[in-house]
Structure 1
Amino acid sequence: MPESKTRSQMTMADRIAELREKKKTIRGMGGEKRIDKQHSQGKLTARERVDVLLDPDSMQEQNAFAAHRCVNFGMEGKFVPADGVITGCGAVDGRLVHFASQDFTSVGGAAGEIHSEKVVNMMKASLKTGSPFVFINDSGGARIQEGIDALSGYGRTFYHNTLLSGVVPQISLICGPCAGGAAYAPALTDFIIQTRQAQMFITGPAVIKQVTGEEVTAEQLGGPEAQMTYSGVVHFVADDDKHAMEICKKLLSFLPANNMEDPPMGPRVETMEVEESLNSIIPDNPRQGYDMRDVISKIVDDGDFLESQQTFAQNMITCFARINGRSVGIIANQPMVKAGCLDIDASDKSSRFIRFCNAFNIPLVTLVDVPGFMPGVQQEYGGIIRHGAKMLFAYSAATVPKISIMLRKAYGGAYLAMSSKQLGADRVAAWPSAEIAVMGAEGAAGIVFRKEIAAADDQAAKREELIEAYREKFSTPYIAGQRQLVDDIIEPSETRRYVAMALDALSSKRDVRPEKKHGLIPL
């Protein structure tokens, strides 16, 4: 406001000039020096990240003039542009999203009462409009000067994360520090994308050293590799901020805006080509592995899929893709790792992915090559029973179209857990190479023919003979076909066409379930 004029003397031109100056100050964030420091660390600013994420000229900022009311520890009268977080809405590929982007150049992006209230307001707007919520994290943590008010802000954020869960997709991007209580908000969202410049953890290296004596760097403790490969907290690792925004946009392209809509359709084709190379993809040696990603790339549109938690529980693959334009969630055993066995981490990884897809009307395609649950003392002590039960629960509870393809091994309880007919699969097809049995022929023969083997003069030869006899009778898909546990036995080359036709047929699926508040998933 011009010093020579009182407010009553100001013209509209004066007031517009004042508004423009205030907006310029807010958009200047923490100042050029702090912005330069952000850039020197290989990071974009809060506003630059939003610009990369959203379609050009689609951003509508909200609550830009919000200001803290703290008067403690030097905060009285201190101006914090946008109170350290940019909030608003915009379009990603023409579709509405709401967002919050923390500004590390303004008081380290520390979250206080108003800061968190701005974030919560956007979450409420997401619920009101049925649009995804994207939270870009880059913060030093709670604003200590605000004490319990800052803590209360975190609590309200967690509460609304839970309200949004299963209603609209929630995506967190970790583009800087995310420590302490702040890490729980991303953990309550559906997907976490972390850049290689960022760290997230509950207690930092200094506290760990003080309490336990362990020495660890921030990168070793909370870097993206640690939080994906070891903990499974992170779903996608990005090289930098721009790459993180690209992953976010691609992820959103597979998802509906909310739980009342179907996922967006991609291009359709009238004639489905046969993929002959699939007929030779399974090795003749049943002990030899192969890369399940090669199978996935040959049955999805353009060979393109987005894999989640790529380096966590690598014996299980979870990814989004399209098959003849329809978004699908794919769950597949990976024979290249632990022979595709189900273990604790693989069970957790797949069951959460299944429940997300079911919540947002995304059909499930399951590719099966599983020799069983992972044996071992540590697996048993770690709770493989309750963790494996999560898969049984998740598939049984899912009401979206469920299509399963049995490629090779499907043994015992693991056969059931991988979306079998008994758990409500709508379509089950098997390749001629499928072996559907209680257990592998080697193990079964040792039990069923124990006495015959023991009585033989040449026990080794007799054992091999009886193993082959068992395999001929039971280790095929044809017995399952006779029992109608397999709907069809198909050539591998027909898989893409089979799945596409099944998806079309099941697009109007209705699943009637008993009324209840909710089931109790195993812990």
Structure 2
Amino acid sequence: MNNAQTWDESLDDLERRRQHTYAMGGEERIARHHAKGKLDARARIDHLLDNASFQEFGTLVGGDVPADGLVAGSGLIDGRPVLVGAEDFTTLAGSIAPGSNSKRYRLAELAERMKVPLIMLLEGAGFRPTGSHYGRTPTDLLAQARCSGRVPTVAAVLGPSAGHGALVAPVCDFSVMTRQGAIFTAGPPVVKESTGEDVSKEDLGGPDVALSSGVVHNLVEDDKSALESVRRYLSFFPSSAWSYPPSFLPDDDAAPRATPELLDIVSRDNRRVYDMHSVLDSVFDTPDWMEIQPSFGPAVICALAHLGGHPVAVVANQPTVLAGSIDADAADKAAHFITVADSFHLPIVFLTDNPGMLPGSASERAGVLRSGARMFAAQTSATTIKLHLTLRKAYGFGSMVMSLLGYDDQVATFAYPGATMGAMSAAALSMATGAEQDVSALLQEMELKASYFSAEHMGFDEMISPVETRNRLLTALQRGLHSRQDPARPVTRTVITP
């Protein structure tokens, strides 16, 4: 008997066990899952990763329970390594037991150690009542928390996600949900037992709830769209905070060009509304910019884009919503986005056109000052390259959170002719002081001259024409990128978040 023959029985047994795991919850459960328009856990991983790049670990964890309800391993996205875990709803509803919890911990531990992104695909019922003692079983959220600001973390909510598993999404930098997704602390049966409330999973934590509360960032139609969003999001980021974002060789879309269309988009009349999305279409490389949390706090646009082939984060006021005033939700969204961008060294471009923080009793009850302070703390403590442009107006604290102040470590600050700045608008100041008509007119005249007054006193680096916008920002960005002459490393934060 040769040596190879002595392995046959052992290898046959290994293959049998693997096939049991690969079968997940069995043909019937998988068929029911597919009938709902969903991919199964392994198909999700195959669609997410580069072809044939998945390398599983913990395959035999769970014994008779295939993979213990969690498929885990490493693979490639656009040729770059990532770690991924997918809850298998066909196996005991994707619930978590000591074995699968250890795999979740291992995923996060390896992501930090290997300095690669961590991706979690969620559709599970939370911790499984096993009757065994969890004791000091490693908790994956502890390891995931250590990943924060060190490697990009992304979650996709692809079905009902409850309890411990659901906590993964809000801890991640970015989360995307399908229309069949739902996320909650506890599912409808537990809610009914605990509080007597009879509620559906959609009303408890479906897309409308998750998006309006800001728990989940983006909504897409189906599994494939969610997985494509994950790939697209990661394309803007480095693998870790120890490297800089990947740039691309300029093509026709990334080349320098004038932007005369902005003369039509941005009216010189401050009373006329325009859509800031059109400005992004004009200024940044097309058509690849990606908006984050478009339905939450829409008065501020947060987007990932390329400028001359270089990834950037964009924070822009939206004049079509609240006239661009910054409310609590918009400030909270922007604060998180700025911190994520800074953590992974994405330059931040601020496009400003706002009359200040949103006033009013409802806004105050929503905590607009605390949220505004949170955004201010995030942008002032940011160590990455910062660029600022005031398109028409920037008043009060609304200008400070948008990085207007010229001594706030920006690489460049620009403004259009006629851009007005100050503590408040002339109209608001006139009303607040009870000014006579002639005084009000004088204030308005002074407001129109404010941009030139600021230029004369170095309130910003340069006044530019809208036609010059893209090229001025691109040149300033390239200058800022040249300053990166030290190796990248994680950001050390000293500001206490309000």
In the superposition, the TM-score normalised over structure 1's length comes to: 0.88
Contact 2:72 2:86 in 1 (8 A): yes
Query: What secondary structure is seen at the aligned counterpart in 2 of 1:11?
Result: helix
Give the partner amino acid of 1:248: V
Contact 1:386 1:522 in 2 (8 A): no
Query: What secondary structure is seen at the aligned counterpart in 2 of 1:321?
Result: strand
The residue aligned with 1:188 is 171
CA distance in 2, matches of 1:291, 1:128: 43
CA distance in 1, matches of 2:280, 2:110: 37
1:423 CA displacement: 2.9
Q: 1:40 aligns with which of 19, 30, 35?
A: 35
CA distance in 2, matches of 1:14, 1:213: 56
5 Å matches for 1:335-350? Answer: 335-350=319-334
* Structure 2, gaps ≥5 residues long: none
Structure 1 residues 124-153: Cα deviation after superposition (integer angstroms, max 9, x where no partner): 11112111010111112111124652x865
5 Å matches for 1:178-217? Answer: 178-208=161-191, 214-217=197-200
Query: What secondary structure is seen at the aligned counterpart in 2 of 1:445?
Result: helix
The answer on 1:66 being equivalent to 2:68 is no
The answer on 1:56 being equivalent to 2:32 is no
Q: 1:162 aligns with which of 132, 135, 145?
A: 145
Contact 2:83 2:117 in 1 (8 A): yes
Give the partner amino acid of 2:453: I
The answer on 1:143 being equivalent to 2:143 is no
Task: Give aligned-pair identity as a percent.
Answer: 33
CA distance in 2, matches of 1:82, 1:204: 24
5 Å matches for 1:387-466? Answer: 387-420=371-404, 421-446=406-431, 450=435, 453=436, 459=437, 462=438, 465-466=441-442
Contact 2:109 2:144 in 1 (8 A): no
Query: What secondary structure is seen at the aligned counterpart in 2 of 1:98?
Result: strand
Structure 1 residues 63-104: Cα deviation after superposition (integer angstroms, max 9, x where no partner): 101226xxxxxxxxxx10111111110001101001111111
The answer on 1:486 being equivalent to 2:481 is no
The residue aligned with 1:29 is 24
**Residue range with higher mean Cα deviation, 88-97 or 197-206:** 197-206
The residue aligned with 2:108 is 123
Structure 1 residues 321-360: Cα deviation after superposition (integer angstroms, max 9, x where no partner): 1000100000000000011111111111001100101100
1:31 CA displacement: 0.5
RMSD: 2.3
Q: In the superposition, relative to structure 1, how do residues 110 and 448 fare at CA in structure 2: closer, same or farther (>3 Å)? A: closer
The answer on 1:134 being equivalent to 2:110 is no
Give the partner amino acid of 2:215: V
1:34 CA displacement: 0.5
The residue aligned with 2:240 is 258
Structure 1 residues 421-460: Cα deviation after superposition (integer angstroms, max 9, x where no partner): 243322110112411122111122345682xx1xxxxx5x
1:27 CA displacement: 0.6
Contact 1:372 1:413 in 2 (8 A): yes
CA distance in 2, matches of 1:330, 1:399: 15
Query: What secondary structure is seen at the aligned counterpart in 2 of 1:139?
Result: coil
Q: 2:72 aligns with which of 70, 83, 87?
A: 87
Structure 1 residues 295-325: Cα deviation after superposition (integer angstroms, max 9, x where no partner): 0011111232110001000101001010001
The answer on 1:98 being equivalent to 2:80 is no
CA distance in 2, matches of 1:435, 1:95: 46
Q: In the superposition, relative to structure 1, how do residues 148 and 407 fare at CA in structure 2: closer, same or farther (>3 Å)? A: farther
Contact 2:327 2:358 in 1 (8 A): yes
1:369 CA displacement: 0.4
1:394 CA displacement: 0.8
Give the partner amino acid of 2:224: K
CA distance in 1, matches of 2:292, 2:125: 27
CA distance in 1, matches of 2:187, 2:51: 38
The residue aligned with 1:354 is 338
Give the partner amino acid of 1:403: L
Give the partner amino acid of 2:221: D
CA distance in 1, matches of 2:68, 2:5: 28
CA distance in 1, matches of 2:128, 2:102: 13
In the superposition, the TM-score normalised over structure 2's length comes to: 0.93
Query: What secondary structure is seen at the aligned counterpart in 1 of 2:139?
Result: helix
1:510 CA displacement: 6.3
1:471 CA displacement: 2.6
1:244 CA displacement: 0.7
Query: What secondary structure is seen at the aligned counterpart in 1 of 2:481?
Result: coil
The answer on 1:225 being equivalent to 2:220 is no
* Structure 1, gaps ≥5 residues long: 1-7, 69-78, 454-458
Structure 1 residues 361-388: Cα deviation after superposition (integer angstroms, max 9, x where no partner): 1000010001011111232233222211
Contact 2:304 2:311 in 1 (8 A): yes
The residue aligned with 1:495 is 469
Query: What secondary structure is seen at the aligned counterpart in 2 of 1:409?
Result: strand
- Which has the higher Rg, Structure 1 or Structure 2? 1
1:485 CA displacement: 2.0
Structure 1 residues 212-253: Cα deviation after superposition (integer angstroms, max 9, x where no partner): 56554211221123211x211111112111111100000010
Give the partner amino acid of 1:141: G
Query: What secondary structure is seen at the aligned counterpart in 1 of 2:399?
Result: helix
Q: How many residues align?
A: 489
Give the partner amino acid of 1:471: E
The residue aligned with 2:444 is 468
